[in-house]
Amino acid sequence: MVRASQLLHPPREPAVPRPAATVLLLRDGEAGLEVLMTRRSPTASFAPGAYVFPGGGIDAADAQAHGLAARRPTQSDERLTQAIAAIRESFEELGVLLARHADGSPVAPGEVAGLDRHAPFAPQCHQRGLVLAADEVFLLAHWITDRDLPRRFDVPFLVARMPPGQSPVADEAEQFEPVWVRPADALERHRAGQFFMIFPTIRTLERLRPYGTVDGVLAACASEQPLWTSCPRAGFVQGAEARFMEHEMQYGELALVCPDGQLLHHLDWRTDQPVPLLKNVTRVTAPNPGVMTGPGTNSYLVGDPETGYIAIDPGPEDAEHQQRLWRAAGGDIRLIVCTHSHPDHSPGARPLQAMCRNQPPIYGLPSAPTARAASEFTPDRVLADGEVLSVAGAGQQHSLLAIHTPGHAANHVCLVLLEDGLLFSGDHVLNGSTTVVDPPDGDMNAYIDSLDRLMAACDRHGIEFILPAHGHVLGPARKAIEQLKAHRLHRESRVVAAMRERPGGTLDDWVELAYADVPPRMWPMARRSLLAHVQRIEALQLAG
């Protein structure tokens, strides 16, 4: 866990989320699936003027109305309460009643119109012998309002089929202008500035867009588990607020830098200045963006003015980049470490060393005979597996544990900042892409074994975040590594299938099958990792 003393921003207590429920009423329109939306009052305290799905807070009366509701055998008490709240809100806001008579017959539109939308809901249903159709309300997703917002809600997004024969009528107090809309059309109108929506609504519609029918949505929700759960985080992109879900590349960095939801961090890639991530961790990105390097190679400084600094991956030989590193450290670089010897990582080590009066030693592993000429590298000191490098001063210490992780390169090393549970992953784990494993210096067996070593290190050292050499910070660390391994093994299964479909084929024959989901312009690069997979498959006799 990151030490509180190293966080950039003072802690704050986010507002406590209030329990609420939202329901997406669906129907099959002529052009496909449609969802019912309404516009909130421009004076509403939450999301004023936004187009939303009906919903609101959960009342104590909702939990007391279980006896009025039909439920599925797998529907928990909590889910039943949420469904009742959603049914009540859809009636109060839009005059839509998800209910039936005790004999199973539908409620006639005239009966719905006879109910008072401003009077207590459950007693009216009880008096008329109506059964709330909670068994026809299914869980789609679970949203928790972003930590930076002053009003927060813990909200299941539920789905139900619109009752036949009923028509929505807005209450003209909280909700206005009910409209049936296809998810794709709502999103297009929002992009055109004609249909304002908030982040969870947008992302929910994006997830609904592939479904063609109500039956398809309800079938996807049959497990009683949310299809996704999210508490988004916010930062700035090009000066504007931007929000991100857990699976998106920027999320982990926001969790590290602004754990309590402080809306302070800028996510734009800067090569002209250092970017503080913690008080003792600074990222300086080299100006070498490209297909292989993404936004550029990340160099890192670990330390503070009292302890001096360790420089990780000084980058390509670029005088201005090394100057920025040197200045960001106040010239006090005590150690230089290279995770591996590829030309965008280690060539800057000697120039950076020469700038420093103390001539800090360069640590790493020497390049293997299998390395390409541009990747030849000889450190001043060979970094042993399990060795710890540290800087200390004024009662503070920052310690890096070396873990040998061959695979991407034969001399690859990852580093764990022990005091703060951070993994500097070099190119072994990237954010936004999978690393290339290029034989003969790259080896897929070694790569996967190294992923297992890193997962074990996450458990042993409490690693929460990964700081890669390309892309934003990743987190949670172990989950990211598990997903990367699963991706590699899935790709391997596709390679095996390609080899079986075209026995005796060439790499070019197999790449178009195994990497059919990758743009053909990327196949020459994918071909390198394909060779590594083929070598592993043949060594383990996986193709049969």
Same domain? For 138 and 78 the reply is yes
Q: Is residue 437 part of a domain?
A: yes
Query: What pTM, to 2 d.p., does this model score?
Result: 0.93
Q: Assess whether 329 and 468 both reside in one domain.
A: yes
Residue 243: inside a domain = no
The two tokens of residue 103 are 């004999």
Tell me the average pLDDT across 47-59.
Answer: 92
173 pLDDT above the threshold of 80: no
Distance separating alpha carbons of residues 399 and 408, to the nearest angstrom:
24
Does any domain span residue 74? yes
Q: Which band of pLDDT confidence, cut at 50, 70 and 90, is reported for residue 472?
A: very high
Q: Are residues 324 and 460 in the same domain?
A: yes
Among 184, 211, 231, where does a domain finish? Answer: 231
The SS3 assignment for 539 reads helix
Q: Output the pLDDT for position 291.
A: 86
pLDDT at residue 104, rounded to an integer = 93
pLDDT confidence tier of residue 257, bands split at 50, 70 and 90: very high
DSSP-derived pairing of the beta strands 275-278 and 240-244: unpaired
Q: Is the pLDDT of residue 544 over 80?
A: no
Pair (295, 399) in one structural domain: yes
Is residue 34 a contact partner of residue 28, using CB atoms and an 8 Å limit? yes
- Whether the per-residue pLDDT at 174 is higher than 80: the answer is no
The pLDDT of residue 380: 97
Domain assignment present for residue 106? The answer is yes
Q: Which residues of 273-310 are buried (b: 16+ CB within 10 A; e: fewer)?
A: ebbebbebbbbbbbbbeeeebbbbbbbbbbbbeebbbb
Return the percent helix, strand and coil in the chain, to nearest 5. 30, 25, 45
Summarize pLDDT for 264-300 with one digit per residue, the tens. Answer: 999 999 999 999 999 999 999 999 999 889 999 999 9
- Confidence band, pLDDT 50/70/90 cuts, at residue 55: very high
How far from the centroid of its chain's Cα atoms is residue 141's Cα?
16
What band does 175 get if pLDDT is binned at 50, 70 and 90? confident
List pLDDT tens digits, range 77-104.
999 999 999 999 999 999 999 999 999 9
**Is 253 domain-assigned?**
no
Boundary (domain end) residue, out of 436, 459, 484? 484
404 shares its domain with 498: no
Cβ atoms of residues 473 and 444 within 8 Å: no
What pLDDT sits at residue 45? 74
What does the CA dihedral 461, 465, 468, 470 come to, rounded to 10 degrees?
Answer: 170
Q: Does one domain contain both 216 and 301?
A: no
- 369-374 contact pairs (CB < 8 A, 24+): 370/410, 370/440, 370/441, 371/341, 371/409, 371/410, 371/411, 371/441, 372/441, 374/342, 374/343
Q: Which of 474, 374, 334 lies closest to 414 in space, CA to CA? A: 474
Model confidence at 221: pLDDT above 90? yes
- Tally of domains in the chain: 3
Q: Are residues 46 and 155 in the same domain?
A: yes
pLDDT at 43 exceeding the cut of 90: no
CB 418 within 8 A of CB 387: no
Query: Is 136 among the domain residues?
Result: yes
* Whether residues 497 and 433 fall in one domain: no
Q: Which domain holds residue 70?
A: 18-231
CB-neighbour burial class of residue 242 (10 A; exposed 0-12, middle 13-18, buried 19+):
middle
Residues 111 and 85 in one domain: yes
Is residue 322, in this structure, part of any structural domain at all?
A: yes
Query: Is residue 171 over pLDDT 90?
Result: no
Classify residue 258: in a domain, yes or no.
no
Q: What is residue 253's DSSP assignment?
A: H
Whether residues 225 and 311 fall in one domain: no
Lookup result for tokens 């004076």? 43
Q: Would you say 281 and 422 are in contact if contact means Cβ atoms under 8 Å apart? A: yes
What's 300's DSSP letter? E
Q: Kindly report the CATH number assigned to the domain that includes residue 349.
A: 3.60.15.10
* Contact in structure between 365 and 340 (CB atoms under 8 Å): yes
> 2-41 burial by CB neighbour count: b if 16+ within 10 A, else e?
beeebbeeeeeebeebebbbbbbbbeeeeeebbbbbbbbb
Give the C-alpha separation, 469 to 487, whole Å. Answer: 20
Rounded Cα distance, 117 and 175, in Å: 13
What CATH number corresponds to the domain at position 225?
3.90.79.10
Please indicate, yes or no, whether residues 361 and 437 belong to a single structural domain of this protein. yes
* Residues 298-334 pLDDT 10s: 999 999 999 999 999 999 999 999 999 999 999 999 9
